[in-house]
Amino acid sequence: FLHLCFCDPFIHFYLSDVTDDMTIAKEEIFGPVMCIFKFRTEEEVIKQANNTLYGLAAIIVSRNVARAMSVANQIQAGTVWINTYGTFDSNIPFGGYKESGHGRDKGKESLDCWLETKTVVIPME
């Protein structure tokens, strides 16, 4: 089911009853779109979340923050928002896992692509 929610200045779409075999569940969708999956166990939802070639971001909605943190640590995504979304700051690294990119924008991690590390080893006698 397609639902619309107007949040100035964007219209956000969320899709309920999404299943693993749907294209929207497998591919990286850019835009204000949220897919809502049904699940029975934590293990099942973690497997569902990681069953993709991509891993830019994920959203967890939960009343139990400790449980949400545990799940967030097991999800293969560069950013996991808990009970919020779209929070960005220049100090917070942003980037994806898997096919969702390499490296990070923002934060001190964004400088890594501009650095070359060299190791020089010499035996001490």
Q: One digit per residue, pLDDT tens: the chain, 125 residues? A: 544 444 555 556 777 888 888 888 888 877 777 788 888 999 999 999 999 899 999 989 999 999 999 999 999 999 999 998 888 888 889 899 999 987 888 888 888 888 888 788 888 88
Task: Give pLDDT, residue 19.
Answer: 85
Bin 17: left if φ > 0, else alpha if -120 < ψ < 50, else beta: left
User: Three-state DSSP class for 53?
Assistant: coil
Of 1, 33, 3, 5, give the one whose Cα is nearest residue 17.
Answer: 1
Bin 89: left if φ > 0, else alpha if -120 < ψ < 50, else beta: beta
Task: Give pLDDT, residue 82.
Answer: 93
